[in-house]
């Protein structure tokens, strides 16, 4: 795992080799889920898997699915920063009912990294156009798209209360901006979850720095993800 944590898989940059690795793992995971989880959930995850637009493993998609299903009972909108080709967004779309889903991305790939990211990303990595994502999600209602670098792109956002926010931006500054923007806007019991916490140094540091003066604790998962559940103000 050492090579993976330092430079290995990130350098593959969303190319064929990265997708091959994720898809191979995901087939095994999907088979394991198939013996235990309900059929409608699996049908959706298999559809997203077949669409071949995701950089998440099947277990990571399952966690997104499961949190979205749980949070649907709560008030507040859903947000995602780091949409790429719209795979995780599609899972939210399938579960969200009438809730608003706010989707933030440059739609031009990664912005510049900083020293905390250890030089493993390329500007423009993971590019997918806004038009491609809009076409992929065209059957779903109440979606808002914000093109540009977050948090500068977060203007005219019609909701200010969120029950679930998913971050997948790979970099320190973007992740820190997500935490700073959404934390005060999360309802009590609202969940902020990120991808890549334990494989990307910048993402990990952003969470550590942000949580240093907060009452919440980080919840790590066996996948690359971690999450924070917003507490009620005391
Ligand atoms: C790894 S991809 C997201 C994968 C996606 N969630 C999925 O399920 O496959 C990272 C995305 O974050 C976006 N991104 C990174 N930093 C950003 C920022 N500060 N503002 C907006 N988008 C950003 C990139 O454009 C890219 O689409």
Q: What is the pLDDT of residues 78-132, one digit of tens each?
A: 999 999 999 999 999 999 999 999 999 999 999 999 999 988 889 999 999 999 9
33 Cα–ligand 1 center, Å: 27
173 Cα–ligand 1 center, Å: 12
Res. 6: pLDDT tops 70: no
> Using a 6 Å cutoff on CB, does residue 87 contact ligand 1?
yes
30 Cα–ligand 1 center, Å: 24
Bridging pattern class, strands 77-81 and 101-105: parallel
Nearest atom, ligand 1, residue 89 CA: 8
> Using a 6 Å cutoff on CB, does residue 168 contact ligand 1?
yes
Residue ranges per structural domain of the chain = 63-229
- Domain 63-229 belongs in CATH node 3.40.640.10: no
Q: What is the pLDDT of residues 125-176, one digit of tens each?
A: 999 999 999 999 999 999 999 999 999 999 999 999 999 999 999 999 999 9
83 Cα–ligand 1 center, Å: 5
């Amino acid at each position: 795992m050492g090579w993976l944590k330092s430079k290995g898989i990130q350098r593959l940059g969303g190319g064929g080799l990265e997708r091959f690795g994720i898809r191979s793992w995901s087939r095994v995971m999907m088979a394991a889920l198939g013996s235990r989880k309900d059929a409608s959930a699996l049908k959706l995850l298999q559809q997203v898997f077949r669409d071949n637009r995701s950089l998440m493993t099947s277990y990571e998609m399952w966690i997104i699915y499961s949190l979205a299903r749980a949070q649907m009972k709560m008030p507040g909108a859903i947000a995602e920063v780091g949409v790429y080709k719209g795979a995780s967004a599609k899972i939210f779309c399938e579960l969200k009912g009438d809730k608003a889903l706010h989707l933030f991305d440059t739609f031009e790939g990664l912005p510049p990294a900083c020293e905390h990211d250890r030089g493993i990303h390329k500007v423009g990595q993971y590019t997918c156009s806004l038009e491609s994502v809009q076409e992929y999600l065209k059957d779903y209602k109440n979606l808002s798209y914000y093109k540009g670098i977050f948090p500068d792109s977060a203007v005219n956002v019609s909701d200010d209360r969120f029950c679930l926010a998913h971050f997948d931006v790979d970099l320190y500054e973007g992740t820190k901006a997500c935490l700073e923007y959404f934390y005060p806007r999360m309802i009590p019991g609202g969940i902020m979850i990120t991808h890549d916490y334990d494989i990307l140094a910048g993402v990990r540091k952003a969470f550590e720095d942000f949580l240093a003066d907060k009452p919440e604790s980080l919840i790590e998962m066996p996948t690359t993800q971690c999450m924070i559940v917003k507490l009620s103000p005391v």
